[in-house]
Amino acid sequence: MDFGMALALVGAGLAALMAGIGSAIGIGIAGKSATGVLSEKPERYGQMFIMVVLPGTQGFYGFLAAFLIMLKLNFFGPEGAITITTTLGWQILAASLPIAFAGLFSAIHQGKVCAGGILMTAKRPEMAFKAGVVYAVMVEVYAVLGLLVTMFILLKGINWPTPV
């Protein structure tokens, strides 16, 4: 494996890893709040569920970016991955960073917002969607923007070689 391919695969790995770590932490934060509330009010499970799983979307965004990189590298093709230069490897690595960092930090902060929404829902269940989910989705926007920037760079900003 050449250095360019190694850089590209590090980029793919970082996109999935960092966004996945953020999602795991965010879900953990929200889940901790939900289990506390549900121990006394189990009937609120449905209202809490969406707020617990919302921080998990960033992990999917990171996976999507990593998968796109591997597809563009023809990683799964029968003839094997394409050969890329070190410069292209650095470009792919750099392209993965928006979703890697946006996914990591937005998932953690979304988990905190969701935890607040869960605690609010314990006392004011009618506010679960109006405030709890809507505020959490506002944080989600930045993960989506990170994914879009990564995808724009990968799809339009990089001159990919064709498989031979």
Percent above pLDDT 90 for the chain? 71
Closest CA to 103 of 61, 151, 138: 61
Neighbouring C-alpha atoms within 13 Å toward the C-beta of 161: 14
67 — pLDDT class (breaks 50, 70, 90): very high
SS3 124: coil
Given a cut of 80, whether residue 8 has pLDDT beyond it is yes
Cα(108)–Cα(106) distance, integer angstroms: 5
pTM of the model: 0.91
Give the domains, in start order, of the chain with CATH numbers: 3-157 (1.20.120.610)
pLDDT of residue 163: 67
Can you tell me the mean pLDDT for 80-90?
Answer: 91
Say which DSSP state 76 is in: T
Given a cut of 80, whether residue 24 has pLDDT beyond it is yes
Of 73-77, 96-100, 147-151, where does mean pLDDT reach its minimum? 73-77
Given a cut of 70, whether residue 1 has pLDDT beyond it is no
Structure tokens at 155: 């799809």
Say which DSSP state 77 is in: S
